[in-house]
Amino acid sequence: MLKYVLKRVGLALIVLFGVSVIIYFLMRLMPSDFVDQKFGPLFQSGKLTEEDMQRMREIYGIGDSDFLSILKGYFKWIGGVFTGDLGMSFIYERPVGTVIFEHMGVSFGIAFVAYLLEMLIAIPLGVRAATKQYGVLDYTTNVLTMIGTALPTFFFAAICIQLFGVGVGALGIFPVQGLITPNQDLSGMAYFADMAWHLILPIGIMVFLSVGSLMRYTRTNTLEVLNADYIRTARAKGLSERKVIYKHAFRNTLIPLVTLLAGMLPSLFSGAMITEQMFSIPGVGYMAYDALLKNDIPFVMGYNMFLAILTVLGMLLADLMYAVVDPRVKINK
């Protein structure tokens, strides 16, 4: 087991190194940089000269764009990472790690509730749809799955805001901006209730758009398991259908689901970038989106490396969970 874990960690470090190099070079080779974004209007109005713009680039460490200068900048950044320093965000003017940590909790809370609801809805419905194949429930879930999978997040969120939000022609049921109602001094349960009311619509959108794929995945895996020989043997022994499905079939259905659920680990902390942007929720996804638009290299690098590490950890946990879910799997490499 230890040898296997060390081997996977070693491969993960190689992957993380490659990811960091690619992201850094892509950010540095963008047509415009942070200085152009922030001081471009002043330059175009004649208040700043080209020499002023170049000095600003030198201050931010993005003065030269040739290969050796970019490579030097990368090794300077990676050297800071090994000392726990992800750099200073250009737009937030604070350490990147601090900004991510402060806004990660909001994104985690939203994603955790959304994923919990998604699993509570999708897995039972997927199993039920498989046992009632070609029935009313099966066709209904398939239609809802196709609708949820086909709708883009920004489009569905805009429809929900227009329909349920506050505005002309809207029903005015749910607030659509921020986490709490402004200009109110709330505390305790009142504060929590107000925040929960603000999050009903964003979480509902996330669940509706994501539940379909997990439900269809569960249905497909359950159908494959129900056609296995040992399921027919269990039925031939006279076991009840409920025991056959939930004791014998369901555990084997979980085996391929482990890989899918392991991929949720980075999503729990990364934030729903589009949803947070649509509803002005100050999560880490909202901050990352703003940083990406303004070419904030330190924040984008820190954010993406944070996600890359979580992704690698999720895949490692998935490999280890196989041995828990399926006793036939032994990790002895």
Q: Judge residue 48's burial from the number of C-beta atoms within 10 Å of its C-beta, 0-12 exposed, 13-18 middle, 19 or more buried.
A: middle
For residue 214, the domain's CATH number is 1.10.3720.10
Q: What is the pLDDT of residue 319?
A: 72
Q: What is the pLDDT of residue 11?
A: 83
For every residue of 115-159, DSSP letters joined together read: HHHHHHHHHHHHHHHHHTTTSHHHHHHHHHHHHHHHS-HHHHHHH
In a domain, 4, yes or no: no
In a domain, 168, yes or no: yes
In a domain, 61, yes or no: no
Reply yes or no on whether the pLDDT at 321 is more than 80.
no
In a domain, 129, yes or no: yes
Q: What is the pLDDT of residue 262?
A: 65
In a domain, 190, yes or no: yes
Spatial distance between the Cα atoms of 21 and 147, rounded to a whole number of angstroms: 38
For 128, the domain range is: 104-297+320-325
- % of the chain residues with pLDDT over 70: 91
Assigned token pair, 268: 């729990």
Backbone angles phi, psi at 88, to 5 degrees: -105, 125
Reported as a single tens digit per residue, the pLDDT across 80-123 is: 888 888 888 999 889 998 998 888 888 888 888 988 898 888 88
How many domains are contained in the chain? Answer: 1
Assigned token pair, 39: 């001081």
DSSP assigned state of 165: S
Cβ–Cβ under 8 Å, residues 56 and 36: no
In a domain, 47, yes or no: no
Residue 299 banded pLDDT, cuts 50, 70, 90:
very high
Cβ–Cβ under 8 Å, residues 178 and 108: no
In a domain, 14, yes or no: no
Region of poorest pLDDT, from 36-40, 177-181, 259-263:
259-263
- Amino acid identity, position 326: D
Q: Which residue has the higher pLDDT, 312 or 100?
A: 100
Which of 248, 243, 253 lies closest to 214, judged by CA?
Answer: 253
In a domain, 157, yes or no: yes
- For helices 153-164 and 188-226, give the axis angle rounded to 10 degrees: 130
Q: Per this entry, what is the length of the chain?
A: 333
Region of poorest pLDDT, from 39-48, 136-145, 183-192, 251-260:
251-260
Residue 323 banded pLDDT, cuts 50, 70, 90:
low
Residue 304 banded pLDDT, cuts 50, 70, 90:
confident
pLDDT averaged over the chain? 83
Reported as a single tens digit per residue, the pLDDT across 156-199 is: 888 888 888 766 556 778 888 888 887 777 778 888 888 888 88
Reply yes or no on whether the pLDDT at 332 is more than 60.
no
* Other residues' Cβ atoms within 10 Å of the Cβ of residue 189: 8
Reply yes or no on whether the pLDDT at 239 is more than 60.
yes
